[in-house]
Amino acid sequence: MPKTHTTVGIIGGGPAGLLLARLLHNSGIDCVLLESRDRAYVEQRQRAGILEQGTVDALRESGAAERLDREGLVHDGIELRWNRRAHRIDFPALTGGRRVWVYAQTEIVKDLIALQLTYGAPLLFEAAVHAVEGADTEEPLIRYTHEGRDKTLTCDYVVGCDGFHGVARTAIPDGVKRTYEHAYPYSWLGILADVPPSCDELIYAHSPRGFALHSMRSPTVSRLYLQVPNGTDPANWSDERIWDELEARFAVDGDWKLRRGPVTAKSVLPMRSSVTEPMRYGRVFLAGDAAHIVPPTGAKGLNLAAADVIVLARAFARLKDTGSAELLDAYSDTCLRRVWRAEHFSYFMTTALHTDPGQSPFATRLQLSRLDRIAASPHAAAELAENYAGLPTV
Ligand code: APR
Ligand code: PHB
């Protein structure tokens, strides 16, 4: 018999909801997590793979980093390519020691689900929330369907970690809520391939044919992306066409070679930016993609989601320990400062490296000048490195 009341009702079992449940559990705060999809679906959904130091620290402190510490790949830099040349951005040297980890979001989700089901508070799969009511009352209510029945969960607080298409955002009245959005005139075609990566660190390539990114999932699995027009059907991209295009976009002087292998997954991702303010209304809070979306070029989506729930869990712990709601009241402003910095960085990385349809030669020259500047100036490179490797959580 599922509980009908909890302290914190969490909607959504992506990385934001799962990490929040873990952090609250560790602080002795009662919560219930409702996820609309089944476990297999949530564990297979392909997403990003770069973790900032702050995200790794939080996973470690919460006791969820055992496999991450064994299997995660530590990266001390990225490579930028343009005009057939390559330039490495050295994170520790430029940021006073910060680095990033390559460990897929799917694996974090698997690790957190396993812990939650073994030790944590209730986690219900196939529990689809259809309404959040009474945000401005003492006891907000979640309406959801589980095992074919309509159910309710009353809460002291509700946290919407239900992603871009979630329902929690609708609990903030239209007169209060403001959404800022930007759409990009291109998408990414992403592949997974059973082939060792052709590089030790990620490669972000600007080219006259459009952007390309070489990432990885493990020493034997590569993850690669190509800029494609909006509306692209992956079925129109044969494996051979994808590899040829990747090869052309990554081309540099010297003897670098792109390894090809069997493509095991292929999908098209939209690119958009969006922020909803405020991230709290009454007793309902938004965290992660429910409140903000970034294009994946800066590798910030997952890290922003983690940062939100770290701030929120700390605020709930303060309330429990001292009775002070000061941190909870500051939640939206605290998070939005970081969110807008990441929005700007993601927009910068995207527009610096992609080619707009019909882009003027003048605009291309400006892009190349910007990239040349990053290669020439440690200050310009440090600005990129600090943002990429991650700013401190608060
Ligand atoms: N009821 C219950 N669960 C829901 C509902 C609903 N009405 N709507 C959505 N969900 C669930 C989704 O099925 C999903 O599992 O909420 C979860 C949201 O998870 P994510 O979309 O992964 O969002 P978040 O946890 O904020 O993580 C952000 O995801 O999109 C990437 O790049 C982004 O890496 C970042 C991360
Ligand atoms: C990924 O590995 O999926 C990835 C890495 C870096 C990005 C985006 C995606 O900027």
Summarised one tens digit per residue, pLDDT across range 273-324 is 999 999 999 999 999 999 999 999 999 999 999 999 999 999 999 999 999 9
3-state secondary structure 99-136: CEEECCHHHHHHHHHHHHHHHCCCEECCEEEEEEECCC
Distance CA 337, CA 357 (A): 32
List, in order of start, the domains of the chain with CATH numbers: 3-73+100-181+272-349 (3.50.50.60), 184-271+359-389 (3.30.9.10)
Q: What is the pTM of this model?
A: 0.96
Reply yes or no on whether the pLDDT at 167 is more than 70: yes
Site to substitute for ligand 1 among 22, 36, 269, most atoms within 8 A of C-beta: 36
In the structure, what pLDDT confidence band is assigned to residue 393 with cuts at 50, 70 and 90?
low
**Residues 6 or more apart in contact with residue 177 via CB below 8 angstroms:** 169, 276, 277, 278, 281
Would you state the pLDDT for residue 2? 72
Mean pLDDT throughout 52-64?
A: 95
Mean pLDDT throughout 231-235?
A: 97
Q: Indicate which residue's Cα is closest to atom 3 of ligand 2.
A: 48
Report residue 78 as tokens: 């990225």
In the structure, what pLDDT confidence band is assigned to residue 394 with cuts at 50, 70 and 90?
low
Mean pLDDT throughout 205-211?
A: 97
Reply yes or no on whether the pLDDT at 392 is more than 80: no
Q: Which ligand is located closest to the Cα atom of residue 270?
A: 1
Q: List ligand 1's pocket residues with C-beta within 6 A.
A: 11-17, 34-37, 42, 47-48, 105, 128-129, 161-163, 166-167, 288-290, 301-302, 305
Mean pLDDT throughout 211-233?
A: 96
* Ligand 2 geometric centre to CA of 300 (Å): 9
In the structure, what pLDDT confidence band is assigned to residue 1 with cuts at 50, 70 and 90?
low
* Ligand 1 geometric centre to CA of 12 (Å): 5
Distance CA 389, CA 97 (A): 10
Length of the chain (residues) = 394
Distance CA 125, CA 188 (A): 30
Torsion of CA 172, 174, 178, 180, to 10 degrees: 110
Mean pLDDT throughout 250-257?
A: 95
Mark residue 148 as left, alpha or beta (left: phi above 0; alpha: psi -120 to 50; beta: remaining).
Answer: left
* Ligand 2 geometric centre to CA of 117 (Å): 28
**Average pLDDT of the chain, as a whole number:** 96
Mean pLDDT throughout 226-250?
A: 98
Q: Which ligand is located closest to the Cα atom of residue 223?
A: 2
Would you state the pLDDT for residue 3? 84
